[in-house]
Amino acid sequence: MSDLLDGRTAVVTGAAQGIGLAIATVLADHGARVTIADLDGDKAAAAAAGIGENARGVACDVTDEASVAALVRDAVDAYGGLDVLVNNAGITRDASLKKMTLENFQAVITVHLQGTWLGIRAASEVMREARRGSIINISSMSGKVGNPGQTNYSAAKAGIVGMTKAAAKELAHHGVRVNAIQPGLIRTPMTEAMSAEAYAATEATIPMRRAGEPDEIANVVAFLASDLSSYMTGAVLEVSGGRGM
C-alpha cells in the first residue's frame, strides 16, 4: 500500500478479470478509489468486493454512448470527481482474412475504437472542468507489429495509438494527459485460450523469454495515473519484454 494515488478517483473498463482487474487492484493499493466497470455487472461487483472498500463494481457497455456517459456520471457522483480513466475493455474475434466475417471485424473495431473514444469523450468533459486528469488507453503490440489472424484486433489497437495522440494534443492545454500502453504477451484468460503452439511461438519472439504478468501492466498504469508522469502526454509505452524492438 502506498499513497501515490491517495485521494484520486479512477474508472477502469473491462476490469472484472485479467489485466483490467490487476489495474484496478494496483490503483486501489496505491490509494485510489476505483470504479470497476464491466459488461458483466455481477462479475464487476464481485471483483470490487475482492478489492475492498475502495472499489465499486458497475455494469457498462463501452460501445453504448448512454452507458458510458452514465458510468462517468455515476463515478463522479459516488466519489466526487474523476482523476483517472483506463480504457481497457476489449474482445478478440480471431480468424484469417479468408474466414473472418464482417460481423466479427466490426465487433472488435466497435469495442476497442468506439469504446475508447466514448470513454475519452465522457471523461475529458469532467477533467477539462477540473483542469487535471489522466486518461490511459490500453493498446497492444499487435497494433504495432500486426498478428496473423488478427486483422481486426491489430487495426483496432493501432487506431487506439492514433486516437491517443490526437486526444492528447487536443486536451493538453486543459491539463488533461492522454497516454497509451502496448502490452505484449501477458498471462491472462484471453492469452490462455491460445493454442500451445501459438503461445510458444509468440513467447520465442520475446527477448526476455517469458510472458508478462498482469501486475507488470498495472504498475505502468499506476505510473501514468500519478504525478510521476506529470510531463508525459501522447506517449505510447511498450510493456512487452522487448518484443517488437
Nearest to 234 by CA among 137, 156, 146: 137
Contact status, residue 167 vs residue 124, Cβ threshold 8 Å: yes
CA distance 18 to 213: 10
Tell me which residue of 1, 4, 19, 54 sits closest to 137, measured CA to CA.
19
Which one of the listed residues 79, 153, 199, 231 is annotated catalytic? 153
Q: 209 — phi, psi (to 5°)?
A: 60, 30
DSSP class of residue 112? I
134 three-state secondary structure: strand
Task: Please calculate the CA angle 83-88-90 and round it to the nearest 5 degrees.
Answer: 155
Query: Is 153 noted as a catalytic residue in this protein?
Result: yes
List, by residue number, the catalytic residues: 153
